[in-house]
């Protein structure tokens, strides 16, 4: 297994600005590998989206690598800029703050911060939740016009939306209003609200959310939470180079 990973890494390293397109024999000669072995590995890389094969049976780097590179760049930039802003939210409100990013059908939390007195939320950095029933996940899915549900929408809490058509209507509302909520949809008794963090191109790359007990989140501080969360997400987006028109 380790040897195969090493060979794949060497294949990807063959592509450069000077040689963006290569054939099977060229790669085999560069690496001193058998053409049959190279062909097998190239096929796997094409299937996984890391390489593109054209009509002349030549290969170039695929979109999956660009997607991964953007994820790394976005995570580094977002996290380095986020901590001071997140601390401001923690000082003002009694809730847990996350920054989440979409990975397939799940939202992955890349940052979590909560005051000590805040009720425990069952998440941690690196944890995953189904995107369709969290405020962050629904916000991120709503930004994907090409997304299709190919899996079961399971009931996780009393208000979980389990109908794809109703969820698509929810996405339309999110896109219109600019934020997402999750009220008893993922965890019993919890309410979350999320706003987008956008890149310099205006694309939604992450979600900033605040999660807490429903009675608090929907109480007298509700409007203040929305205003400050929206402003914080906008500041993070601006620091990444996006300026809304």
Q: The pTM is what?
A: 0.68
pLDDT value of residue 245: 39
User: Which sequence spans correspond to the domains of the chain?
Assistant: 2-61, 67-239
- pLDDT > 50? residue 243: no
The rounded percent of the chain whose pLDDT value lies above 90 is 51
The mean pLDDT of 133-155, rounded to a whole number, is 89
Q: What is the 3-state secondary structure (H, E, C) of the chain?
A: CHHHHHHHHHHHHCCCCCCCCEEHHHHHHHHCCCHHHHHHHHHHHHHCCCEEECCCCEEEECHHHHHHHHHHHHHHHHHHHHHHHHHHHHHHCCCEEEEEEEECCEEEEEEEECCCCCCCCCCCCCCEEEHHHCHHHHHHHHCCCCCCCCCCCCCCCCCCCCCHHHHHHHHHHHHHHCCEEEECCCCCCEEEEEEEEECCCCCEEEEEEEEEEHHHHCCCCHHHHHHHHHHHHHHHHHHCCCCCC
Q: Does domain 2-61 have CATH number 1.10.10.10?
A: yes
Examine domains 2-61 and 67-239 and report if their fold is the same: no
pLDDT value of residue 195: 97
CATH architecture of structural domain 67-239: 2-Layer Sandwich (3.30)
Instruction: Name the pLDDT band for 75 (thresholds 50, 70, 90).
Output: low
- pLDDT > 60? residue 201: yes
């Amino acid at each position: 297994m380790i040897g195969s990973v090493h060979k794949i890494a060497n294949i990807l390293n063959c592509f450069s600005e000077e040689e963006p397109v290569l054939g099977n024999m060229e790669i085999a000669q560069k690496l001193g590998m058998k053409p049959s072995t190279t062909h097998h590995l190239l096929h796997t890389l094409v299937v996984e989206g890391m390489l593109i094969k054209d009509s002349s049976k030549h290969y170039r780097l695929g979109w999956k690598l660009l997607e991964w590179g953007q994820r790394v760049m976005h995570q580094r930039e977002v996290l380095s800029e986020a901590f001071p802003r997140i601390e401001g939210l923690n000082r003002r409100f009694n809730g847990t703050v996350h920054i989440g990013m979409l990975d397939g059908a799940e939202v992955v939390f890349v940052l979590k911060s909560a005051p000590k007195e805040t009720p425990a939320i069952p998440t941690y950095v690196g944890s995953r939740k189904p995107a369709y029933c969290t405020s962050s996940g629904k916000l991120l899915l709503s930004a994907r016009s090409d997304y299709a549900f190919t899996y079961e929408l399971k009931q996780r809490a009393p208000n979980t939306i389990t109908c794809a058509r109703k969820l698509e209507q929810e996405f339309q509302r999110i896109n219109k209003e600019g934020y997402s909520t999750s009220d008893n949809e993922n965890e019993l008794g919890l309410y979350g609200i999320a706003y987008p963090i956008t890149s310099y191109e205006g694309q939604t790359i992450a979600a900033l959310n605040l999660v807490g007990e429903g009675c608090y989140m929907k109480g007298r501080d509700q409007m203040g939470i929305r205003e400050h969360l929206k402003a914080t997400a906008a500041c993070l987006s601006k620091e990444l180079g996006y300026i809304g028109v």
